[in-house]
Amino acid sequence: MAIIKLSATEQRRLSAFFTCLVLAALAWLCITLSNPYNYTVKRVLSYKNTPQKRAFHSLQSDTVDITIKGTGWQMLYAMMHYSSNSLVVDLRPLNTGNYVVLSSQQMQIADGEANHDVISFNPDTLYFDFLNRMVKRVPIKLLSNVTYQQQFSQANNSILKPSYITIVGPTERLNKITEWDTDSLIVNNVNETIRTRLNLQPVNEGNITIYPKAVDVIFPVDEFTEKTLEVPVKLINNNDFYNVKIFPEKVTVTFMTSLRRFAEIDENFFEADADLNLWKNQGYSTLPVKLTRVPPFCKVINVEPQNIDFIIKK
């Protein structure tokens, strides 16, 4: 293929032509986008002024389509930010009825759609089903993911203030709720007690309200050290009152515990059992030892011996 060689003058003319072409296209685009258009945007429903004495359940989707009149620039912006806004609906009409007409709130909705003219809604009427309403208190559950420096660990149960949440909503829904989670407490390389405030998990249903919405958390952390105790073994399920002698009568429990609690912990904090039913029903010749009580601030490392011998005297 032959290569067309242009003179300097021809190159300048060609460059000027393409420059004018680009400027003309930009001018056309600006004029076109400045014209008014009707376009549709999708909005997620949110509610205000919910009825205090009536529990409700929406009978339609949680989104609504709004037809808006605006410039092409506004339409382009709406297409790029389609999920950033919500449609706030006033539910005061539900105090006397079971539906809300969006077009009757067109003026206040238009305030939330700044510089836009709201034309119509689809659907225009929102219908609601009403249910029995109840108030319920459930415990708050802390969600945590905490890592510690070496020899540090959680020293006791976490303290939540308050420890319960009050939920108001439909009886059928609240009967299924037994606890309410916090946002996750995520902290790394911890070497001291954590004191913070966490939000509770948000409500995903418009007919349920919770109080409070945040909780104070004390997450006790302390340095741990190793300790060893001799714990008596208790024989259980000797229902026939055999005269049983066990060897040894105590086991050695090695555990990690908080330095603050080190001095106060003795064998009374633990309980070790051996089940005689394992011999009577399953023919065991030795009985395994099971720790049935361990303080929450202790982490057992080893129990020695793990099995004990026994003699039944007749």
Average pLDDT, the chain: 82
4 pLDDT more than 80: no
Q: Report residue 135's pLDDT band, with 50, 70 and 90 as the boundaries.
A: confident
Q: Report residue 59's pLDDT band, with 50, 70 and 90 as the boundaries.
A: confident
DSSP per-residue letters across 257-310: EEGGGTTT--GGG-EEEEETHHHHHH--SSEEEEEEE--TTEEEEEEESSEEEE
Give percent above pLDDT 70 in the chain: 83
Looking at residue 110, its pLDDT comes to 64
109 pLDDT more than 80: no
Mean pLDDT over residues 251-272, rounded? Answer: 91
Looking at residue 280, its pLDDT comes to 84
pTM of the model: 0.52
90 pLDDT more than 90: no
Closest to 237 measured CA to CA, from 200, 267, 194, 282: 282
Closest to 69 measured CA to CA, from 21, 106, 27: 106
Provide the H-helix boundaries in the chain.
8-33, 72-80, 106-112, 171-174, 277-282
Q: Residue written as tokens 């065991």? A: 284
Stronger pLDDT, 22 or 279, i.e. the higher one = 279
Task: Provide, for the chain, the percentages of residues in helix, strand and coil under a 3-state DSSP scheme, each rounded to the nearest 5.
Answer: 20, 50, 30
Choose the weakest-confidence range: 96-105, 176-185, 235-244, 256-265.
96-105
Looking at residue 26, its pLDDT comes to 74
15 pLDDT more than 70: yes
Looking at residue 138, its pLDDT comes to 94
Contact present, 168 and 52 (Cβ < 8 Å): no
275-289 confidence digits (pLDDT tens)? 998 888 888 889 999
Stronger pLDDT, 124 or 202, i.e. the higher one = 202
194 pLDDT more than 90: yes
**Rounded Cα–Cα distance for residues 228 and 253 (Å):** 6
188 pLDDT more than 90: yes
Looking at residue 63, its pLDDT comes to 83
Mean pLDDT over residues 249-253, rounded? Answer: 94
80 pLDDT more than 90: no
Which tokens hold the place of 65? 């389509």
DSSP state at residue 213: S
112 pLDDT more than 90: no
296-309 confidence digits (pLDDT tens)? 888 899 999 999 99
Q: Report residue 99's pLDDT band, with 50, 70 and 90 as the boundaries.
A: confident
Strands (E), 72-151: 86-90, 99-101, 117-122, 125-131, 133-148
Choose the weakest-confidence range: 32-46, 84-98, 192-206, 280-294.
32-46
Stronger pLDDT, 53 or 308, i.e. the higher one = 308
- CA torsion sign for 181, 187, 188, 189 is negative
Q: Report residue 196's pLDDT band, with 50, 70 and 90 as the boundaries.
A: very high
Contact present, 140 and 179 (Cβ < 8 Å): yes
